Amino acid sequence: MAHRILVLYGSYRSDRQGIRLADFLVRSFGARGADAELIDAKAIGLPMLDRMYKEYPAGEASEALEQLAGKIRAADAFVFVAGEYNWGQQPGLKNLTDHFLEEWFWRPAAIASYSAGRLAGAHATIAWHGTLSEMGMVVVSSTLAVGNIGGALDESGQPIGDGGAALSRSFPRFADDLAWWTDAAREQRARVAPPY
């Protein structure tokens, strides 16, 4: 059965460049046989966190929250496309993530970071690793880091230049690592109920 992978992206900027990496990931996972879907925080448009999904009485959460909760619960794995804002996390993606908790549990997550600069979002990766672990996900050790995002992927998310070539070389290991943990988690969930 194909892995169901949600690729989560959170920039709200008008000239978003990280969407190129998100599109590359959805397409590349799809080419490997996964059922990959982009979850774009800006398109979903959740408000700033007031109540988590679980804090709404049954039937009172917005339709966007209900649909997203169902997609998260049905997913086998997650990929967080992490732009770096001032050495930290994108607020749009963090806001989307924080609307949920138990829905994330017992599945693997991978981090693909980017920035316009040469550090390629490395600080965001570090920040996300702790957050995702705290939220009940197993974060795989392989990461993707794309610097000079505008020079590594064209507007349609196709790799270009040296940065794009490096991304193309790095993606298979990243995907293999996530696939291994996805299979392991799926098998364990089928074998025994999670402890909480």
Asked if residue 10 belongs to a domain, the reply is: yes
For residue 77 the two structure tokens come to 């794995």
pLDDT at 196 over 90: no
Q: What is the pLDDT of residue 85?
A: 87
Asked if residue 196 belongs to a domain, the reply is: no
Nearest to 25 by CA among 86, 114, 140: 114
Q: What is the mean pLDDT of the chain?
A: 96
Q: What is the pLDDT of residue 195?
A: 87
Mean per-residue pLDDT, 133-137: 96
Q: CATH number for the domain including 79? A: 3.40.50.360
Asked if residue 162 belongs to a domain, the reply is: yes
The C-alpha atoms of residue 192 and residue 106 are separated, in whole angstroms, by 12
Q: Reduced to 3 states, what is the DSSP secondary structure of residue 85?
A: strand
Q: Largest Cα–Cα distance of the chain, in whole Å? A: 51
- Cα–Cα–Cα angle for 12, 45, 87, rounded to 5 degrees: 35
**How big is the chain, counted in residues?**
196
Predicted model pTM = 0.96
Mean per-residue pLDDT, 130-152: 96
Q: What is the pLDDT of residue 106?
A: 96
Pair 95, 46: CB distance under 8 Å: yes
Asked if residue 135 belongs to a domain, the reply is: yes
Asked if residue 179 belongs to a domain, the reply is: yes
The C-alpha atoms of residue 39 and residue 8 are separated, in whole angstroms, by 5
Domain hosting 112: range is 4-191
Phi/psi at 122 (nearest 5 deg)?
A: -60, -35
Task: Provide the percentage of residues in the chain whose pLDDT is more than 90.
Answer: 93
**pLDDT tens per residue, range 70-92:** 999 999 999 999 999 888 899 99
Pair 162, 79: CB distance under 8 Å: no
Which residues, 6 or more positions from 31, have their beta carbon under 8 angstroms from its beta carbon? none
Structural domains counted in the chain: 1
The C-alpha atoms of residue 151 and residue 110 are separated, in whole angstroms, by 23
**pLDDT tens per residue, range 11-25:** 999 999 999 999 999
Question: End-to-end CA distance of the chain, in Å?
Answer: 26
